[in-house]
A and B are shown apart, each in its own frame.
Chain A
Amino acid sequence: MAAPKAFNATRGDKVFDVVNIILMSLVLIVTLYPFLNVLAISLNESNDTVRGGITIIPRAFTFENYQQIFQYEGLIRGLWNSILRTVIGTVFGLISASMLAYTLSRPDFQARKFTSTFLVVTMYVSGGMIPVYILFRDLGLLGSFWVYILPGIVSAFNVIVIRSFMDGLPYALQESAKLDGANDLTIFFRIILPLCKPVLATIALFLAVGQWNSWFDTYLYNGSHPELTTLQFELMKVLQSTQQGGSGQMVNANDMASKMTQISPESIKMAITIVVTVPILIVYPFLQRYFVSGMTLGAVKS
């Protein structure tokens, strides 16, 4: 294989390779620099940061900024709520998506067509912000932790992804189990689910990231309930309260910066940004091989 390549490596091709590598390196820098810059500032002494000129290496290394932000009660509560909603939301989302997907993967299931149409419609039709708000109010979900969990339990996209994975499993497995007298629940839990681990990992990642990154539901439904705050919402408040030109949409700027006079708002912002981002950075490399295949599966189907 190497021989024809070498034979054909004209000068134009070599130039192309070099240009391509330079372009890709630029993409790397543009993607990574903001993160590294923020990390460096978060680990730099606040007074020193004000002088400017920090790039990707802290000039006066310290953990002071992190110690400071973790003394703020809202952040601890936000962290706790974010973890809680991520865990509970992911578990519920996985259960619903895998069960629905299994019923849809059974060609003999009577309500299959109906269920399938019923779910696909939800992908295209949405009531809009205010009808949903009124519904949640009527259901008593405003000012409640469950507003983070309940609305997102059923997701048609996740069902489709899992289902197309299940369609690829040999049907004979189920049939022989059935002949042995296993019922549908047993087949689902004992045979199908263990085989679906890769796709379940993908969906778990999507669900967990979605939960962890949500902030608008906190803002809209629980904005006046500090005990239900989330990490993203706390970050959003800090970022907006000190933004150039004042905040446009912030209504109750619970200003963390004003409570912490020892360090500059800049350092607070950067430290919280890192706290919010790190969990994702930790789980992400392990799950990469799963989500790529999961995305491809979903795309083929939808």
Chain B
Amino acid sequence: MGTLTPGGNSNNNPGTPAKDPLAGKRFKTQGFWRTALQQRYLYLMSLPFIIWAFIFSYLPLWGWTMAFQDFKPAKGFFEQKWVGFEHFVELFSDDRFYLALRNTLAMSVMGLVVGFVIPIIFAILLNELRGMMFKRFVQTVSYLPHFVSWVVVAGLVTKMLSTQGGAINDLLVGLHIINEPIQFMAKGEWFWYIVTASDVWKEMGWNTIIYLAAITGIDPELYEASRVDGASRYRQMWHITLPGIRTTISVLFIMQIGHLMQIGFEKQMLLGNNLVLEYSQVLELYALQYGLQMGRFSYGTAISIFNSVVSVILLFTVNGIFKKVSKESIM
């Protein structure tokens, strides 16, 4: 029956095979559209947002062509003058670029090392707390800064480090460690440390969530067995807790390396000032100031492209290494 009337009212059951292979194919495409029709509400729920994502996430990639043009905002795409790699040549011969690159790498590596180790230690120590109420309270408080904007955090940090009634200076002077207040925010060589410390202050608690979840997954019998064997708390942490969250640690570490170049610019922009520019200028701020705000769109785009390309290379390299080592992929 199916072979006779392939178009109309067949029951569209792939189980009742048509002998003619062509007819079967016809059935298949017909089946596709039929299923599509059946799933029309699913398409209705996803298509608008796919188009949305296309506009706001994919379309900007087209803008990368700007880096190879002498882009003038008033002109149409076909009227632009193409200049090849001119902007990249200019970029790579600009001292400020290398300064920005140095700052980006310095702060991201410091953030990676410190910002990665401290949450692990914090999570393990939290896990060792005996009093449940106290533990809860510490957790609740430590997650809090994550939800506060960088604007507020920058304000708090500036206030704490201020020379007029700043808590840090008051404390250091009070303990006679220093004789007079230090102008932390005006000293370039302090800037990287201030950014890293602020970042740790803001995200330390939040970053423990995943580790704490991983620790919950460790078999409690391991602890009991070791206790019977007389293992101290340090030994338990070192030989059971840490190895128990090893996979989580390595996956997160690799993901962090993949995002090494994407450290953002909010904190640098908000905490920085003209006095520390030499240490606070990161690549994205450089693109903002020497590209966008000076109307040099092409030059700024070249900076962004450099940043993205390095990020993607990093991500794939790291993922490749991880695959080799653990036979798993994180992407």
A interface residues, Cβ below 8 angstroms from B = 4-5, 8, 10, 12-13, 16-17, 20-21, 23-24, 27-28, 30-35, 37-38, 52-55, 96, 99-100, 102-103, 106, 108-111, 115, 118-119, 121-122, 124-135, 137, 139, 150-151, 153-154, 156, 183-185, 188, 209, 212-216, 220, 232, 235-236, 239-240, 243-249, 251, 269-270, 273, 276-277, 280-281, 284-285, 288, 292, 295-296, 299
Are B140 and A127 in touch, CB under 8 angstroms?
no
Mark contacts of B201-217 with chain A using CB atoms, 8 A cut-off: 1 yes-contact digit, 0 otherwise. 10011000110010000
- Decide if B12 is an interface residue (CB 8 Å cutoff): no
Are B183 and A128 in touch, CB under 8 angstroms?
no
When the two chains form the complex, which single residue of A106, A122, A134, A220 contacts B42, counting CB atoms closer than 8 Å? A106
B interface residues, Cβ below 8 angstroms from A = 32, 35-36, 39, 41-46, 49-50, 52-53, 55-64, 66, 73, 122, 125-126, 128-130, 134, 137-138, 140-145, 147-152, 154-160, 162-165, 167, 183, 185-186, 201, 204-205, 209-210, 213, 224, 227-228, 230, 232-234, 266, 269-270, 272-277, 280, 284-285, 287-289, 291-293, 297, 300-301, 304-305, 307-308, 312, 315
When the two chains form the complex, which single residue of B56, B138, B183 contacts A27, counting CB atoms closer than 8 Å? B138
Instruction: Take A131-B301, A133-B292 as given contacts and tell me if A31 and B141 are in contact as well, using a CB distance cutoff of 8 Å.
Output: yes
Instruction: Take A31-B141, A35-B156 as given contacts and tell me if A184 and B41 are in contact as well, using a CB distance cutoff of 8 Å.
Output: yes
Are B63 and A134 in touch, CB under 8 angstroms?
yes
When the two chains form the complex, which single residue of A24, A103, A125, A212 contacts B138, counting CB atoms closer than 8 Å? A24
| B300 proximity list for chain A (CB < 8 A) | 129-130
- Identify the closest chain B residue to A294 (Cβ): B209
Within the complex, the shortest CB–CB distance from A158 to chain B, in Å, comes to 11
Number of residue pairs across A and B with beta carbons under 8 Å?
268
Within the complex, the shortest CB–CB distance from A126 to chain B, in Å, comes to 7
Instruction: Take A31-B141, A122-B53, A132-B60 as given contacts and tell me if A115 and B46 are in contact as well, using a CB distance cutoff of 8 Å.
Output: yes
Are B232 and A13 in touch, CB under 8 angstroms?
yes
Select the residue from B63, B151, B154, B160 with max chain A CB neighbours within 10 A: B151
Are A239 and B155 in touch, CB under 8 angstroms?
yes
Are A213 and B45 in touch, CB under 8 angstroms?
no
Are A124 and B315 in touch, CB under 8 angstroms?
yes
| B305 proximity list for chain A (CB < 8 A) | 128
Q: Complex formed: what's the CA distance from A296 to B217 in Å? A: 12
Instruction: Take A27-B138, A124-B315 as given contacts and tell me if A235 and B151 are in contact as well, using a CB distance cutoff of 8 Å.
Output: yes
Select the residue from B155, B230, B280 with max chain A CB neighbours within 10 A: B155
Are A239 and B151 in touch, CB under 8 angstroms?
yes
Instruction: Take A118-B50, A239-B158, A244-B162 as given contacts and tell me if A131 and B62 are in contact as well, using a CB distance cutoff of 8 Å.
Output: yes
| B293 proximity list for chain A (CB < 8 A) | 251
Are B213 and A299 in touch, CB under 8 angstroms?
yes
Q: Can you add 6 more A-B contacts, CB < 8 Å, to A103-B46, A248-B273, A249-B272?
A: A28-B137, A111-B42, A122-B58, A156-B53, A248-B277, A249-B289
Are B125 and A24 in touch, CB under 8 angstroms?
yes
Are A184 and B73 in touch, CB under 8 angstroms?
no
When the two chains form the complex, which single residue of B56, B147, B185, B297 contacts A209, counting CB atoms closer than 8 Å? B147
Are B151 and A276 in touch, CB under 8 angstroms?
yes
Are B274 and A135 in touch, CB under 8 angstroms?
no
